[in-house]
Amino acid sequence: MSQNNGAAQDDTASSSDHAASTDLRLLYRKLLFQTKEKRSELVRPESTGLLETLEEMNVLFSRVKNPREAVYDSNVLKLTSELGLEQADNLQTNMTVFDRCVFAEKLVTFMDGRCRGSQRDKPELDWSKLGKYAATMFNVTAKLDLIYGPLAMESIAKHRAAREKNVQRKPTEAEKKKPQQLQQEEQEESTTKEVQRVLKAIHKLTDPDQGTYKHVPFFEFITDPTSFPTTIENMFHLSFLVKDGKVKLYLDEDNTPVVKIDVHNGAVITSTPGTTRALNPSQVVVSMTIQKWKDLIEEFNITKAMIPNIKRKGK
């Protein structure tokens, strides 16, 4: 029973809202029609009908709940603003309007044009009287005129030395290439020194008299436990030696990668690494991440770098 009563109340409320909206739209249409009919009366300057229309609109707008009624309100407001503009144009301020004919008659009277001569003759106007009167309204300095004309003066020509523009000389193509060449030569020289340092480290580790390795373990050799970037650099420099055939990289009996000096080519290194190639070249891709680097240090118990780090020694 309570649900049925609630549904009945909702139906009643919706029907009452619909009736109120219909009634409100009817009132707006009626107001719009009356405003259009009274257009000529509302635009009169003394009319106050537009104010009454606006007050009625305010009363109706307080009952607006739906967009449809708001559209009716905007239409009435638009028409009211147009009528207000027309009423403002019709408003007279009773200000003095300039009349050219009246002004001309007053000038003729002021210059005694009506007092001299007969009515048939043309009036003689006293323009000097008007000029003297008008001169009092202006504060202008009198012009100076030379008695015997302008003085004969020769203009002195000034000779100005032409200034040279500070034009910057553009560098030649050879000069542009010099910094690049120097930078490239310095980079190649630095790479050559690093490659020589790696080769000397392998020589020292595999020396029959002082060395401790017959062939050096690859991962233990390149890994620097204190620096991941240095480990990458060591692997990069070692790749030049492998590419030139100075060092052999292969797997030992335990399938562990090792490096060993080539007896025939390992004694001397060229001025520019990478310019020569091994007799039987082969490519190997080795990936290295920070996590792999940490795992290598822990797996092989690396505590000291086999390749001395010159940068760390310099610090």
CA atoms within 13 A on the CB side of 284: 16
Kindly state the average pLDDT of the residues 272-278.
52
Q: Which of 87-101, 121-135, 276-290 comes out lowest in average pLDDT? A: 276-290
Predicted confidence at residue 138, as pLDDT, reads 80
Predicted confidence at residue 279, as pLDDT, reads 53
Residue 249 forms beta bridges with which residues?
259
Predicted confidence at residue 177, as pLDDT, reads 57
Confidence of residue 215 (pLDDT cuts 50, 70, 90): confident
CB 288 within 8 A of CB 218: no
Predicted confidence at residue 167, as pLDDT, reads 61
Stronger pLDDT, 169 or 124, i.e. the higher one: 124
Does the pLDDT at position 2 exceed 50? no
Rounded to whole angstroms, the Cα distance separating 35 from 32 reads 5
Stronger pLDDT, 251 or 272, i.e. the higher one: 251
138: left (phi over 0), alpha (psi -120 to 50) or beta: beta
Stronger pLDDT, 91 or 59, i.e. the higher one: 59
Percent of the chain with pLDDT over 70: 66
Strand ordering across the sheet containing 257-261: 216-217, 257-261, 247-251
CB 260 within 8 A of CB 248: yes
Percent of the chain with pLDDT over 90: 4
Does the pLDDT at position 40 exceed 50? yes
Residues 6+ apart with CB under 8 A from 83: 35, 39, 42, 43, 50
Q: Which of 104-113, 249-258, 304-313 comes out lowest in average pLDDT? A: 304-313
Predicted confidence at residue 186, as pLDDT, reads 62
Does the pLDDT at position 101 exceed 70? yes
Number of C-beta neighbours around residue 297 at 10 A: 19
Q: Which of 34-43, 150-159, 298-307 comes out lowest in average pLDDT? A: 150-159
CB 61 within 8 A of CB 90: no
Kindly state the average pLDDT of the residues 3-19.
63
Average pLDDT, the chain: 76
Cα angle: 195, vertex 196, 198; to 5 degrees: 65
Predicted confidence at residue 192, as pLDDT, reads 79
Confidence of residue 270 (pLDDT cuts 50, 70, 90): very low
HEC secondary structure over 240-260: HHHHHCCEEEEECCCCCEEEE
Kindly state the average pLDDT of the residues 216-228.
88
CB 70 within 8 A of CB 64: yes
Rounded to whole angstroms, the Cα distance separating 222 from 225 reads 10
Nearest to 282 by CA among 256, 248, 235, 315: 248
- Amino acid (one-letter) located at 40: S
Kindly state the average pLDDT of the residues 212-216.
74
Confidence of residue 216 (pLDDT cuts 50, 70, 90): confident
Predicted confidence at residue 315, as pLDDT, reads 47
Does the pLDDT at position 204 exceed 70? yes
